[in-house]
Amino acid sequence: MLRLSEVDRHRAIGLLQAGLPISEVSLCMNVNRTTVFRLRQRLHETDTVSDWPRSGRPRCTTQRQDRNLVRNHYEQQVSFNFSFIASEKRKK
């Protein structure tokens, strides 16, 4: 199940603060009424709509480093393929 983005959560809270009932906000946001109710409840309890901390091992790399790793991997594959093709042509 998809979670609401941070922007969508703030948008829903804004609609609630503007006076719209939970049912109308849920229709506008295309989510269940329970989702909006819990979002409002979380705001009242914690003064934030951010995600709760998740359990599990902390990340060792940033998202930017992950993208660079993937890009470098594909660049090395392409480079290897071109060198392989060139060596095959030299054999002929």
* Residue spans of beta strands (DSSP E) within 1-92: none
The counts of H helices and E strands in the chain are 4, 0
pLDDT of residue 87: 67
pTM of the model: 0.56
Domain boundaries, the chain: 1-47
The architecture (CATH level 2) of 1-47 comes to Orthogonal Bundle (1.10)
Q: In the block, which residue shows the tokens 């941070």?
A: 6
pLDDT over threshold 60, residue 2: yes
Are 4 and 35 in contact, with CB atoms under 8 Å apart? yes
Per-residue pLDDT of 17-68, as tens digits, reads: 999 999 999 999 999 999 999 999 999 999 998 887 778 888 888 989 999 9
- DSSP code at position 60: S
- DSSP code at position 18: T
pLDDT of residue 3: 78
pLDDT of residue 20: 95
